[in-house]
Amino acid sequence: MVEITLIQAVTLALARAMEEDPRVLVLGEDVGADGGVFRATDGLLARFGAERVLDTPLAEAAIAGLSIGLAAQGFRPVAEIQFTGFIYPAIDQLVNHASRLRTRTRGRITCPMVLRSPSGGGVHAPEHHSESPEAMFAHIPGLRVVIPSSPRRAYGMLLAAIRDADPVVFLEPTRLYRASREDVADDGAGLPLDRCFVLREGTDTTLIAWGGMVREALAAADALAQEGVSAAVIDVATLKPLDAETIVASVGKTGRCVIAQEAPLTGGFAGEIAARLAERGLMTLLAPIERVAGYDTVMPLPRLEHLYLPNAARIAAAALRAMAYA
């Protein structure tokens, strides 16, 4: 057991997977000699060699396409895209090939690849380095979409993603890379890729979040407790497939719900969760579902980023509105 950050947990999981399975490869821009832009692959080149840790050209479509080819031939590639703002050229490969390979070949060929990328804001990066496009990937049939929010979950979920027989988009909240430490056992144990994690039980309202918003939801729950409001906190963790059962069950107990996402409001994944609750838990609701999100505009980086991003105060305020509803 060692106390490590989320980014160190990613490195630990990659090393464990590569040690256990010679089919696991790491590829991407600067993942070799430089150890990745955020140091996620630091030390892997020296440990596993240049045949398994591959520096690629600045060509995201090629990175994704090469990964699909490797996966189809029996390897288990883990590709890194430096920022989600650079991930869009890879979407063609994900939509038209990675996500369809199993059905296209009637199950004869699968695509066991992982596409990793830092995601979200909070680090004052320039231009389009701080986006949260998770809903876009969740809309693609055939892809899993995973967003860990703690070192322990990053370790276990990345191992499970690498071992999965189908493609996984693994988005890592940049702001959480070095935000906290947690004891993580390097025991090779994976975590389920189809479950939400209930981080806190509550009786008055349910706060639902993923990625960088999980810490804000937990802070909001602490603030609400000072107001006498008992808030459950759920980390969605895997957006696709969505564990709607856990969410519906929690909201069934509390009767109120706040969903927090970092992405812009319109078309965001919070809307999908709200729809599931409307379909399966409408009669248990005591107040309208609240969504706390980014704004429908390009993030105003870097100086106004803090005004764009949802925070604990906005989440708590939404919960209090729901509590006041009569």
Q: Give the whole-angstrom CA distance, residue 64 versus residue 37.
A: 18
Active-site annotation holder among 97, 124, 128, 129:
129
Is 139 tagged catalytic? no
CA angle 41, 119, 62 (to 5 degrees): 65
- Catalytic residues, which ones? 129
